[in-house]
């Protein structure tokens, strides 16, 4: 081996060592860049799934996989939400209904409950998967604190709000079904035209009024749950 060859070999070893050192030193920079990105999300009002640029992806290094957990969750939730909305569109109007309309569409209420319950279960299952994926991540404490805040803002809080809204909707649909059943079972004692109603006796009037009051209360709880969800998602 000539002297030139030996020197070239040493230079190569030095180059490899320098590359390994640079690679090892990049983790703090990657973490810093990722934390800055997450902080930007956390400071925004409402839910924003920011899409990293190619420059961001390179800057984050392996931490990009941590954010991919959040992006994959968002993609799956979009599919489930669209499927739910499309299913609900086929079940008639979703706004306030007259007493007669509720009685006429009694068969739809069971379908609404089935679709809503299935979607709520799907949300819960997807949230559990995201939580498991988060638990499997290895993160330094400074990153973990910021990441958990982002996770709660973009995933946990919105899903919990949607589930609360779905639960309120199920209760509201139950009350609608009770009114429809009562009207349909007491046609001889009730005269219903749109939202106008007459009862042939005080007992029937008292019973239907109690059902209407319970329905109105359930409607208000559903509307409150929707507003709370809107606050979480849009910050207003």
- For the chain, what is the domain count? 1
> Minimal CA–CA distance to 234: which of 46, 41, 44?
46
pLDDT tens digits, one per residue of 128-165: 999 999 999 999 999 999 999 999 999 999 999 999 99
pLDDT band for position 95 (cuts 50, 70, 90): low
pTM for the model stands at 0.82
- Averaged pLDDT score across all residues of the chain: 87
Output the CA angle 27-30-36, nearest 5 degrees: 140
* Domain contains 119: yes
* Domain contains 9: no
* Domain contains 43: no
Helices and strands (H and E) in the chain: how many: 8, 2
* Domain contains 40: no
Containing 184, the helix (H) or strand (E) segment is: helix 157-185
pLDDT band for position 96 (cuts 50, 70, 90): low
97: how many CB neighbours lie within 10 A of its CB?
18
Distance CA 162, CA 81 (A): 10
Output the CA angle 174-178-184, nearest 5 degrees: 140
> Minimal CA–CA distance to 215: which of 99, 115, 116?
99
* Domain contains 27: no
Residue 227 corresponds to which tokens in the numbers above?
């507003």
* Domain contains 160: yes
Name the residue with tokens 């429809």.
180
pLDDT tens digits, one per residue of 161-171: 999 999 999 99
C-alpha separations of 28 from 34, 37, 163, 211 in Å: 10, 14, 38, 62
* Domain contains 58: no
Residue 50 corresponds to which tokens in the numbers above?
């920011």
* Domain contains 28: no
Q: Could you tell me the maximum CA-CA distance found in the chain, to the nearest angstrom?
A: 115
Host domain of residue 178:
71-234
Distance CA 100, CA 141 (A): 59
Better-scored residue on pLDDT, 120 or 95? 120
Residue 72: exposure state from Cβ atoms within 10 A (0-12, 13-18, ≥19)? middle
């Amino acid at each position: 081996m000539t002297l030139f060859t030996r020197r070239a070999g040493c230079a190569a070893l030095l180059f490899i060592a320098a590359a390994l050192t640079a690679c090892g030193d990049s983790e703090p920079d990657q973490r810093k860049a990722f934390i800055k990105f997450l902080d930007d999300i956390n400071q925004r009002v409402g839910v924003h799934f920011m899409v990293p640029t190619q420059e961001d992806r390179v800057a984050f290094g392996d931490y990009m996989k941590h954010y991919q957990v959040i992006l994959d969750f968002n993609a799956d939730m979009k599919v489930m939400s669209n499927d739910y909305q499309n299913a609900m569109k086929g079940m008639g109007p979703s706004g306030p209904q007259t007493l007669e309309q509720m009685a006429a569409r009694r068969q739809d209420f069971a379908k609404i409950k089935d679709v809503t319950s299935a979607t709520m279960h799907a949300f819960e299952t997807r949230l559990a998967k995201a939580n498991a994926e988060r638990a499997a991540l290895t993160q330094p404490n400074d990153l973990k604190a910021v990441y958990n805040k982002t996770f709660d803002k973009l995933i946990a809080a919105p899903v919990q709000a949607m589930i609360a809204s779905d639960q309120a909707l199920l209760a509201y649909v139950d009350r609608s079904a009770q009114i429809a059943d009562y009207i349909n079972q007491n046609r001889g004692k009730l005269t219903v035209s749109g939202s106008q109603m007459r009862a042939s006796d005080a007992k029937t009037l008292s019973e239907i009024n109690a059902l209407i009051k319970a329905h109105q209360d359930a409607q208000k709880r559903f509307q409150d749950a929707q507003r709370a969800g809107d606050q979480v998602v849009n910050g207003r």
